[in-house]
Structure 1
C-alpha cells in the first residue's frame, strides 16, 4: 500500500478527520529505561533530565499550548537531544513534529537554513489529480498504516521514504529530499471500541486501496487519536531523483520535440546542476555544411534564425564535433570574436559548455549549457550528467527518426496517400479551390469530398486467441529466466546464506508465484526491472569473485536475447508465427486485390492488427468515365469469398511451420443498402457519412464478438467463414456462390444458418457459416475459376 503508486484516488476529506496531540510521554519512557541501564553512554544525561522533569509536570502529559514549549525551551532541547545529536545541528536536516503536524516544534539549524522561509515551498513530489491535496492524501494513508500496525497488529507500517520537492520561489531552484519518518514515539488511542476486521474484510480493504472513503467506512478515522511525536530525517536526493526522472522523460518520444517536454528536461537539468540561471540547448545535427539543420531538432540557445550553418564553422561547436569532446568556455568576453560569440554576448551570456552526444561512435547532436556569469560552469558540474549523455544521444536519435517519419507521413497524407481510384476527385476539388481563390480576394474553403451511393465491402481475418498465446509466451519466457537465476543464486549454499542473495531468492520465488498465477498489468515490467537492475549486478559481482560461477553465469547471459537482454524464446516463436500468418494473409489480399481492381476500380484500404482487416467501397460516384453495374458488385463479393477460402487454406498449410500454433477466424459483413462516404479532413481518411449509416460502422466494430443465439459460441470459428447479414434478400446471392463452391470442393456440405445475439446498436443479425474443405491442400483449385461465368450462370 503506497500512495505514490495509486491512480484515481477517491477521497472526500478536506481536512484531517482524527484527533492529534503532542506528548513527550513515550520519549520520557525511553529516557527512564536509559537511566536504568548501567554503562549506557547517556545514562547520566537521562538521570539529570528526569530530575529536571520532576519539577515540570506540564511536559510529562499532553501539550496543548505552544507557550509551554517556549517557557521550557532549555529542557525541551535537552529532551530532543535524545533524538537529534546537537553536534549535528549544522550538518543534518531533521525536524520533530506533533503527529501528522505541518509545523515542526523543534528542528536542526540546517533544516531552518534549507527549508524554512517565506519564499520556500515544500510539497510531495509525485502528482495526483488536481482536485486532491497531495499532502492530505499521503497523511491519511500513513495514518491508516499506523492504525493497522499499532491497533490491529498487522505490522504493515514500514519506514517507506517519501520524496519531497522544495521550491525556492526567489531563485527558482528546485531540490528534492528523501524523508524518513520515525513513529516509535507515537501511540494510536481508540476513542471507542473499534471494529475487528475479518480476513475477507481486510482483503476487500486492500482490494480498494485507492478508495479512502471506503476505508473510512470500515475504520472511521474520527474514532482514533494520535498522541506523541514524529521525527523526520531529510536527505538531499536531488541527484538520484532528477537523474531517474530525466531517464523517464527521455524515454518519452515528445520529451525533446515538444516545447513542454523540452522545458521539463531543462528544469530538471537546472536542479541537477544547482543553477537556476542556467540556459540549456540541444541540437540534432547532420553536418556543418548542411543547410537542412532546420529540418531536424534545433533547440539551440541562440535561435536558428540568427545564425547560419556556416557561422558555426571554426567555433567551439565544430571543435566539440570533430574532436568528440566537451568544450568549456569560461568567459566568452575573453575569447576571439566571431558571430557565435557575439550572439551570446548580445544576450549577456558569458560562460558556455558544449557536449557532443555520441551514439555508435558518431556524433548525433549537441547538448549545451550557458550562464550569464563568467566561470560559473565547471567540468565537475557537467560530469553530474555524464551517465545521461548516452540516453540524451539515444533520445535525440529517436526524435530525429520520429521527425523524419512525421515528415514522410505528412507527405503521404497530404499528397500521395490518396487511393488511385479517387485521386481524380481530390484533383478536381483542389482545382476548384484554386480557381475560386483566383476569382475572389477572399479565402475559399475546401468543399467536402463525398461519394454517395456506394456499397461497402468488409472482411476480417483475425488470429484466434492471439492475446492468450502472447501472454503464454511471456509467462513461459519469464518463468524460464526466473528459474535460471534461481538455480544460479539459490541452489548454492554459500551464496544462499548471504543476506542480500537470500532476499533476492525470496523475491524470485514471489515473482515465480506471480507469473504462475497469471500476469497482470505492470507485472512484466516489474519482473524485467528486477532481473536487470537487481539480478544482473549481483551476477556480475559473483562472476568476478567466484571462479566456479564464471561458466554458468556466462551461459545465462549468452541465453539472453542480445538486443532485449531477456529470454526471448516463446515470445519470439509467437511473434514469428503471428507475423508469418499476417504476411501470408496480407500477401494473398494484395495480389488478389490487383485482380479485383481490374474488374472494376474501387476504393480499398487494408490494415493489420492481430490479423488483417479491409474496407472497400464500390459505386459509380467513385469512378469517372466507366459506367457501373451491379454485376461488378457480384464479382467483388464472389472474389471476396474465394479470397477468404484461399486464406484459410494457406494458413492451414502453414501450420507445420508455426512454432506457436495459431489459426485464423474469418468473417464477411454483407450490407446491400448504398451509403455515402466522406473524406474527414481532420483525420485524413474516409468514413461513412450520415447518422443512418453509422449503424454499419457500429456493426462492423462489434461483429467479431457476436454470439450464436442461445449459446456461448462465437459466430467466428477456425476453419469456417461467417457471412453476416441483416436481411434475407441480401443472402440469396451468396447461396448461389455457396452451391458453386460446394461443387468445386472448396467448402464442405456443412453450411449453418444462424441467428445471432443482439449487439449494442445492432440487432436482428444472422449468419451463414460455411466450412472450408482442407482435404487437398496441395492443389490450387482457384486458378481455373472464371468469376464472370459464375456470376452470369
Structure 2
C-alpha cells in the first residue's frame, strides 16, 4: 500500500461481513491432541473436552454472551495462540476479523494499549480514513492469495500514533496481523482474473474503486479471528520521520515546522514537557546574523549571539562534545545560566554540530526538573545529528544564497579573493531593502592595485583555419562535381550541366581566397541544391548508388559537410589551448596560496589573463610588495613551463600549430572598478585607460624599423614603458638562465608606436628547449629568490 497519496475509494465502511469463529483453531487443537509427542497434547485433549460441552463455541459466534459465559475456556483456547509465558513481555491480542477492539489480549497489551487514556490513530496524517483503507488492502491481498493463487506477503503493517490523553506523551506502535486463523467464504463466485488484470491492479494501488470493480468485496465473508501483535517502534519511527522532516527546509525555517520537531523530540525523550532548541552557528559577518535560524530556548531578544561567549555553550563547541548538565542550579552563575534558571530550566543538554570539523550549529534540550535528561536519551539521536547538521548548514546558506543571487544578477561571477567586498555591498543593500528603504547598489572600487597581464597566442591560427576551410570545401565540391560529370555521361541532362558550372564557380571562389560570408553561401548551395540532386540520381540510376553513398559517408554526420581539415585544426587548437589553460589553472592555485589576488582568464584561440594585486583587494591580510615580486617571477616560470609543454605536444598535433607569449609590465598602481552594465572590471581614470589600450594592441606590435612582430614562437616578450620597471625582471631572467630555463640570449628592443600607446620597449628572451621536462614551480623557491633580490 502506497502512502502519502490520495486513495480513490468510495467505500466508507467494510463492505463484507465478519464472523467470529474458533473453527480453524479447534481443528488445529484436534491435530495436536492426536499427536502423541506434542508437549501440549494433554492440554489439547482437555480443551476439546471442554469445547464439546460448550457447543456455542464450536459454531459461528454471533453474540458476546458466548464468550462471556465461558471466560476460562476462552483463555484455554487462546493459550494455543498467545503463550501465557508472553503475557507480560509481548503486546498481543485477538479480535473479530478486521475489528479494532480485541476480545482477548495479553496483560502487557492491556496495560500499554488497552486503557481508555490511550488514543489510537494511524500515524500517517491525511484527510482519509487510513485505517479503513489499510484494512481493505489487507482483505484484498488475503483474497488474492486464496482464490487467485497470487502468493505475496499479506502482512501489511499498521503504524499507530498512541497519545496518552492524561499527560500528552506519544508512542508509535507497529501492528502486525497474522491471518492463519482466518477463513474466507464466497457469497458469490469470485470473478476470474488474468495475470495481466492482476498486474493492472498493482499498477493502480491508489484506485481502490478499480480494485472493487474487479474483485467486489461484498461477494466474500471473513470468519475466524485475527491474531495481531504490537511493537513499540517509537525510536526508529521518530528518527526516520525526523530525517524526512529535515529534508524539507521549511521544517527549520517556519514556526509550524519547528513545532513538528518539538513534538518529535518529546516523543523520542518520552517526555511531553521537554523543551527543544536549535541554532545556526553565526558567521563573523554581522550582515548574515539577521536571517539565521535561531530557535533557542531563550529567545534572541533576551540573549544575543555574543552573550554565549565564555558560557557552557562555547565550551561545547571548543571541546566538540555533548555537554549534559543535570542541575543548572549547581553551575557557576553567568548571564546564560541566569536566563535559563529564570525560564525555569534545571536540566540542560547541548549538542554541537560539526561538518568537516567546521561548526554549523547546535541543538539544546531542557527540562524544568533536575536530572531529567540522560546521555542515553541523547544518544538515541546520534544517527540523526548529521542530518540536523546538514539542515542547519543549508539554512545558514540560505542567506548566502540570497547574497549570491544578487551578486549573480548584479555583478555576474566573482573571483573568490574579492567576493568579501561584494558580500559587504550586497549585505548592506539587502538590509536596507528589508527595511523597505530601496537604495542603489554602491560602487565596487579597488584602489592602488598593480596589474599583471600575460598572453599565449596561437601563431597564425586565423590563416590555418582559413586554409582548413578551403581544403574541406574544395574536397566536397570536387567530389560532387565528379559524380555529376559521371551522371552526365550516363544521361544528358541540362540541369546537371548548370549545377556543375555553379560548382566550378564555387571552387574558383574558394581557391582564390574566401571573403566574409562566402563559406555560408557555399554550404547553403551544397545542402539545398547539390545534395538533393545527388539523392535523386541515386534513386533513379543504380550505377550512381555507390558513388553517392561514398560522397555522403565522407560528410560529418552532424554538420553534413566535409570536416576533415577543420577537425584536425580544431583538435590541435583545443589541445594547445587546454594545455596552456590547465597549466595556468594549476599554477595559479599555488600562487593564490602565497597571497590572494584577483585573477581572470580568457580562452579563445589562445589564453590570456588579467590579474591585480594590492592591499585593497584583501581583508584581514597585510600586503607587501614582496608578493608582487613573487607573482612576477611566477609569471616567467609559467611561461617557460607552457613553452616546453607545447613543444612536447607537437607530435600529437594533426595540424602544426605553435604559440607566442608575452608579458605586459605596468608598475604604477591603478584603480579598478566593477562596471555593472558590462558585468566586468575595468580600470578607472583617464590615465589608466592607456594600459587597457596597450593590452589590446601589443600582440600585433612590430619591432621599430622592421616588419618583425615582437612575439615569436619559442620566445617570451616582456613589454614595458619605463627603464626602471625592467630592472627587477633582468634579475629574474639571470636566475632563469642560470637554472637552464632560458637561453643566454637577451634582446632589448624598441617597439613601433601604437595608436594610443607610444614609447614601448621590450626584453625578448628565448626558452631553452634542450631540456623539455616541464619545470616544477615551487612557491618556496620563488619566495627565496625574490627575497634575495
TM-score, normalised via structure 1 length = 0.52
Is the Cα contact below 8 Å between 2:182 and 2:223 reproduced in 1?
yes
Q: How many Å separate the matches in 2 of 1:267 and 1:339?
A: 29
Q: Is the counterpart of residue 136 in structure 1 residue 147 in structure 2? A: no
Distance in 1 (CA, whole Å) between partners of 2:309 and 2:438 is 46
Cα offset, 1:125, TM superposition = 2.4
CA distance in 1, matches of 2:387, 2:569: 55
For residues 280 and 185 of structure 1, the distance between their equivalents in structure 2, rounded to whole angstroms, comes to 47
Tell me, in whole angstroms, the C-alpha distance in 2 between the residues paired with 1:288 and 1:327. Answer: 24
RMSD: 3.5
Q: 1:745 aligns with which of 515, 518, 522?
A: 522
Q: Contact 1:747 / 1:771 at 8 angstroms: preserved in 2? A: no
Matched with 1:223 is 219
Kept in 2: contact 1:751–1:770 (CA 8 A): no
Q: Select the residue among 52, 62, 67 that pairs with 1:69.
A: 67
Given candidates 326, 332, 339, the residue that maps to 2:335 is 339
Secondary structure of 1:82's counterpart equals coil
CA distance in 1: counterparts of 2:521 and 2:217, whole angstroms: 77
Distance in 2 separating the partners of 1:309 and 1:325: 20
SS at match of 1:275: coil
Which of 111, 114, 117 aligns to 1:113? It is 111
Q: 1:43 aligns with which of 29, 41, 44?
A: 41
**Partner residue of 1:10?**
8
Name 2:91's counterpart in structure 1. 93
Contact 1:291 1:309 in 2 (8 A): no
Gap runs ≥5 in structure 1: 418-442, 447-645, 653-738, 753-768, 784-793
* Matched residue, 1:358: 354
**CA 1:301–1:294: 2 relative to 1, 3 Å:** farther
- Mapped to 1, the partners of 2:216 and 2:144 lie a distance apart of 12
Task: Give the distance between the partners of 1:331 and 1:101, measured in 2 at CA.
Answer: 48
Asked whether the 8 Å contact 1:96–1:229 carries over to 2, the reply is yes
Following superposition, the deviation at residue 155 of structure 1 comes to 2.1
Q: Which residue of 2 aligns with 1:237?
A: 233
Question: Bigger shift: 318-327 or 247-256?
Answer: 247-256
Query: How far has the Cα of 1:150 moved from its partner?
Result: 1.7
Partners of 1:321 and 1:231 in 2: how far apart? 52
Residues 1:292 and 1:333: Cα distance change in structure 2 (over 3 Å)? farther
Question: By how many angstroms is 1:83 displaced?
Answer: 0.9
How many angstroms does 1:127 deviate by? 4.3
Contact 2:353–2:385 at 8 Å: present in 1 too? yes
| 1:562-641 matches, cutoff 5 A | none
Q: How far, CA to CA, are the matches of 2:247 and 2:205 in structure 1? A: 29
Q: Which residue number in structure 2 is paired with residue 640 of structure 1?
A: none
Contact 1:188 1:224 in 2 (8 A): yes
For residues 671-712 of structure 1, what are the alpha-carbon distances to aligned partners after superposition, in whole Å with 9 as ceiling and x for unaligned?
xxxxxxxxxxxxxxxxxxxxxxxxxxxxxxxxxxxxxxxxxx
1:43–1:339 CA distance, 2 compared to 1 (3 A): same
CA displacement at 1:747 relative to structure 2: 3.9
How far off its partner does 1:78 sit? Answer: 1.2
Rounded Cα–Cα distance in structure 2 between residues aligned with 1:770 and 1:32: 84
Partner of residue 576, structure 1: none
Does the 8 A contact of 1:289 with 1:309 survive in 2?
Answer: no
Distance 1:307 1:147, change over 3 A: same
Structure 1 CA distance for aligned equivalents of residues 374 and 74 of structure 2:
45
Alignment partner, residue 370 of structure 1:
366
Q: How many angstroms apart in 2 are the aligned matches of 1:88 and 1:234?
A: 13
- 1:192 pairs, out of 188, 191, 204, with 188
**Change in CA separation of 1:288 and 1:45 when aligned onto 2, cut-off 3 Å:** farther
Query: What is the correspondence of 1:702-713 to structure 2 with a 5 Å cutoff?
Result: none
1:648-663 to 2 correspondence within 5 Å? none
Report the equivalent of 1:284.
Answer: 280
Q: Deviations over 1:508-534 (max 9, x none)?
A: xxxxxxxxxxxxxxxxxxxxxxxxxxx
Q: Is the alpha carbon distance of 1:257 and 1:32 closer, same or farther for their aligned partners in structure 2, counting shifts above 3 Å? A: same
> Equivalent of 2:201, from 197, 205, 209?
205
Distance (whole Å) between structure 1 residues aligned to residue 562 and residue 327 of structure 2: 82
Return the alpha-carbon distance in structure 2 between the equivalents of residues 15 and 231 of structure 1.
21
**Residue 393 of structure 2: aligned partner:** 397
Q: Report the Cα distance in structure 1 between the residues aligned to 2:340 and 2:407, rounded to whole angstroms.
A: 37
Q: CA 1:278–1:341 in structure 2 vs 1: closer, same or farther (change >3 Å)?
A: same
Structure 2 gap segments, 5+ residues each? 413-435, 440-465, 473-515, 530-557, 571-603, 606-789
**Deviation at residue 76 of structure 1 after TM alignment:** 0.8
Task: Please say if residues 17 and 221 of structure 2, whose CA atoms lie closer than 8 Å, have aligned partners that are also in contact.
Answer: yes
Aligned to 2:420: none
- C-alpha distance in 2 between matches for 1:366 and 1:18: 54
Aligned to 2:150: 154
Cα deviation, 1:169-206, whole Å, max 9, x if unaligned, reads 33332211222211000001001222122233223333
Write the distance in 1 (CA, Å) between the matches of 2:268 and 2:150: 40
Does the alignment pair 1:180 with 2:176?
Answer: yes
2:22 equivalent in structure 1: 24
By how many angstroms is 1:366 displaced? Answer: 1.1
Q: How far off is 1:297 after superposition?
A: 2.1
CA–CA distance in structure 2, aligned partners of residues 360 and 176 of structure 1: 34
TM-score (norm 2): 0.53
Q: In structure 1, the residue corresponding to 2:185 is in which secondary structure?
A: strand
Q: 1:206 to 1:403 in 2, by over 3 A?
A: same
Equivalent residue for 1:307? 303
- 1:378-435 CA-to-partner distances (Å, cap 9, x unmatched) read 111111112222232222222212331034336766x779xxxxxxxxxxxxxxxxxx
Asked if the contact 1:52/1:75 (under 8 Å) is kept, the reply is yes
| Cα contact 1:190–1:225 (8 A) shared by 2 | yes
Contact 2:121 2:162 in 1 (8 A): yes
Give the length in aligned residue pairs: 452
Separation (CA, whole Å) in 1 of partners of 2:374 and 2:275: 14
